[in-house]
Copies of this chain bind each other. A is one copy, B any other.
């Protein structure tokens, strides 16, 4: 059936995101390095803490900042100073104030898509922060709907399809995360287009079997939808 609705992932599909986390991670390593004994894998401990904290914090910068602080205490056996903790709080606030930088091709492609399809942003993370990012993106007025969700799983996509009364056969989801943007949408009966981003967070990692249409840039999306949608 003809595509009527296009779902768009936010982070690392519409705007840059993961690189800011990596920038913060590099700063984090530098801040705590003087207090860490040799042989400790800081990244591994942070990832373990993020995984353990996910059930409490969910996704987003606030939970990440709390996990950074906890990891700083953890990997330094409590030797980390309050100066460093304050610096980590400031890193978190810096991420939350970050101007939104659109991914290449987004600014010119979204208006084209908006003329032909009903666009729905489907993004996860902190509600407050995601709303600010959408507002700062300048794209909000081109969107038919915005869904900021706690988790991008089958139940969430089913709820969204139901909410907008969408026949799954008319829905295509576009995003960089196979785990969040592709697999659950296929399970819900929709279609999905993968636009990989060079950086993917470990907790988002998944693969598809190669049968999912994959584009190098969102700039190719209007043509793909014309041909295959």
Binding site for B on A (CB under 8 A): 53, 56-60, 62-63, 65-66, 69-70, 73, 76, 78-83, 85-86, 89, 92-93, 96-97, 126-129, 131, 148-150
Contacts and interface: CB of A to CB of B under 8 A. Distances in A.
A60 B66 CA distance: 14
Given A58-B129, A59-B128, A127-B126, A66 B89 contact: yes
B81 A78 contact: yes
A150 B128 CA distance: 5
**Copies per complex?**
2
Given A150-B128, A150-B131, A57 B62 contact: yes
25 contacts: A56-B93, A56-B96, A57-B62, A57-B96, A58-B126, A58-B127, A58-B128, A60-B62, A62-B63, A62-B126, A66-B66, A66-B89, A66-B92, A73-B82, A73-B85, A73-B86, A78-B82, A79-B82, A82-B85, A85-B85, A126-B127, A127-B127, A127-B148, A127-B150, A131-B150
If over half of A's interface residues share one DSSP class (helix, strand or loop), that class is named, otherwise mixed; here it is helix
A80 B78 contact: no
